[in-house]
């Protein structure tokens, strides 16, 4: 029973299920150029999950004081996982990821870039997670652009790469930036008390919501344009257009909400629908 409880705490602590966004972008990048899957594809999936979990551990280690206010139920703060266990698990995950990545130099090199960005994001003296603009850019790179690029690289079909492919990739990156802008509404209390300079606390709700709306619209337009030149419009694309319309309206609404708690609820809706948009887009690529 104790071992089961500890395992459950480790899973909750490392949150491997949150890597779904990373894997979705990786798959979109891959299937933009190829329909085939090889060993490198599955190794990349494993490595991305491991690195995401390792970065999650590092983030929780550095944000313990903030989490004690915002999320006291987290395993590290609640004492269900010790600091020693956390650091050991982080090293194991990174080591396994690098060893697995050696199979394919492309995976190994991207792994090093991901580890470097994760270190800059979570660790002193850099703490890019506590800088308003750098934090958004790094999250966009880690959750979108780098996985997309890795997927395209592993397709072994880069000779087919065109401008429309690049537009689609950059559009997904911009969309991810627009969503990352909205991530801190639920953490205002702890972030403010600990002096964390998030984009929201630095520039306010109006600029945060407005910036997210403009970036979102730019990303949606780019996605529509790139998709049209990739394969033309098809009847099923109405699903994508409807999702884009709903997301645009939600982003517009978040610019005028009266409280951070209400804005957070809208963010959760946007985050969920945006993942749905990515998943639908992925399905349309493979079907």
105 lies in the same domain as 227: no
Q: Is residue 21 part of a domain?
A: yes
Residue bearing the bigger pLDDT, 2 or 119: 119
Model confidence at 287, pLDDT cuts 50, 70, 90, reads confident
Query: What DSSP string describes 222-269?
Result: HHHHHHHHHH---TTHHHHHHHHHHHHHHHHHHTT-S-HHHHHHHHHH
Token pair for 64: 């313990």
* Residue whose tokens read 């209400």: 262
pLDDT at 231: 81
Residue 192 has pLDDT above 50, yes or no: yes
Average pLDDT over residues 185-205: 83
223 lies in the same domain as 270: yes
pLDDT at 60: 87
143 lies in the same domain as 277: no
Average pLDDT over residues 60-73: 83
pLDDT tens, 3-25?
Answer: 567 788 888 888 889 999 999 99
CATH value at residue 111: 1.10.357.140
Alpha-carbon span 222 to 213, nearest angstrom: 14
146 lies in the same domain as 206: no
What are residue 125's phi and psi, to 5 degrees?
A: -90, 5
Q: Is residue 251 part of a domain?
A: yes
Residue bearing the bigger pLDDT, 243 or 232: 243
CATH value at residue 283: 1.20.120
Q: Is residue 2 part of a domain?
A: no
pLDDT tens, 83-140?
Answer: 899 899 999 999 999 999 999 999 999 999 999 999 999 888 888 988 899 999 999 9
Average pLDDT over residues 213-222: 97
Residue 2 has pLDDT above 50, yes or no: no
191 lies in the same domain as 279: yes
Residue 191 has pLDDT above 60, yes or no: yes
208 lies in the same domain as 126: no
Q: Is residue 213 part of a domain?
A: yes
Q: Is residue 196 part of a domain?
A: yes
142 lies in the same domain as 197: no
Residue 81 has pLDDT above 80, yes or no: yes
Q: Is residue 144 part of a domain?
A: yes
pLDDT at 1: 46
pLDDT tens, 176-186?
Answer: 999 999 988 87
Residue 195 has pLDDT above 80, yes or no: no
144 lies in the same domain as 202: no
Domain holding 79, by residue range, is 7-159
Q: Is residue 1 part of a domain?
A: no
78 lies in the same domain as 42: yes
Instruction: Name the domain boundary from 115, 142, 159.
Output: 159
pLDDT at 197: 82
Instruction: Name the domain boundary from 133, 159, 185.
Output: 159
Model confidence at 258, pLDDT cuts 50, 70, 90, reads confident
Question: Into how many domains does the chain fold?
Answer: 2
Alpha-carbon span 6 to 253, nearest angstrom: 42
Query: What pTM value is reported for the model?
Result: 0.93
215 lies in the same domain as 287: yes
188 lies in the same domain as 199: yes
Model confidence at 214, pLDDT cuts 50, 70, 90, reads very high
pLDDT at 3: 59
Buried b (16+ CB within 10 A) or exposed e, 250-285: bbebbbebeebeebbebbeebeeebeebbebbbebb
pLDDT at 171: 97
209 lies in the same domain as 139: no
Number of C-beta neighbours around residue 117 at 10 A:
18
Instruction: Name the domain boundary from 159, 188, 207.
Output: 159
pLDDT at 137: 96
- Of all residues in the chain, what percent carry a pLDDT higher than 90? 63
pLDDT at 31: 95
Average pLDDT over residues 158-168: 92
Average pLDDT over residues 204-211: 92
């Amino acid at each position: 029973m104790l071992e089961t409880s500890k395992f459950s705490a480790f899973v909750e602590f490392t949150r491997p299920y949150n890597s779904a966004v990373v894997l979705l972008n990786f798959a979109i990048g891959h299937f933009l150029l190829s329909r085939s899957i090889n060993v490198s594809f599955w190794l990349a999936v494993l490595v991305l999950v491991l690195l995401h979990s390792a970065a999650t551990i590092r983030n929780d280690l550095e944000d313990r004081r903030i989490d004690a206010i915002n999320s006291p139920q987290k395993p590290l703060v609640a004492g269900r996982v010790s600091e020693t266990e956390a650091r050991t698990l982080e090293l194991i995950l990174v080591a396994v990821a690098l060893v697995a990545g050696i199979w394919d130099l492309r995976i190994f090199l991207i792994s090093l870039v991901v580890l470097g960005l994760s270190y800059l994001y979570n660790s002193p003296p850099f703490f890019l997670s506590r800088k308003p603009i750098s934090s958004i850019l790094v999250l966009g790179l880690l959750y979108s652009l780098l996985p997309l690029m890795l997927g395209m690289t592993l397709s072994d079909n880069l000779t087919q790469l065109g401008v429309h492919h690049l537009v689609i990739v950059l559009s997904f990156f911009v969309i991810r930036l627009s969503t990352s802008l909205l991530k801190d509404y639920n953490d205002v209390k702890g972030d403010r008390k600990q002096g964390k300079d998030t984009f929201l606390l630095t520039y306010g709700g109006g600029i945060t919501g407005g910036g997210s709306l403009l970036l979102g619209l730019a990303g949606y337009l780019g996605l529509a344009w790139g998709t049209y030149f990739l394969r033309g419009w098809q009847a099923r694309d109405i699903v994508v257009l409807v999702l884009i319309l709903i997301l645009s309206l939600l982003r517009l609404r978040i610019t005028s909400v009266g409280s951070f708690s209400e804005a957070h609820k809208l963010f959760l809706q946007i985050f969920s629908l945006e993942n749905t948009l990515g998943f639908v887009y992925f399905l349309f690529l493979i079907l």
